Amino acid sequence: IPAIGIGTWALRRNTSEVIAMAIQNGFRHIDAAWIYNNQRDVGLGIKEGLRRTGMKREDIWVTSKLWNDRHADKVSQGLEETLQQLGLDYLDLWLVHFPV
């Protein structure tokens, strides 16, 4: 896991640009979560940051999290929704946001 990362909690304005600039400035770990309600913009920022730097998806580490109402029977659905929102084919790490 890259040592330098950016969390996306509470990013509400200019989210895509913040993430793109973070990638340009050496951040290689993007930490997202479904409950942050900004994964679409985070994904657009990842795409733009990779474009600007000429890097590939495998050059960064992306983490997201499974929310509490999906622990029992919606794990696959939660993962698919997260991947769709972020516009990615895979995550490097997917965490249980917090166990309940």
Instruction: Please identify every residue annotated as catalytic.
Output: 36
Residues 6 or more apart whose Cβ sits within 8 Å of residue 25: none
Residues 6 or more apart whose Cβ sits within 8 Å of residue 40: 85, 86, 87
Q: Going edge to edge, which strands form the sheet with 93-96? A: 5-7, 29-31, 61-66, 93-96
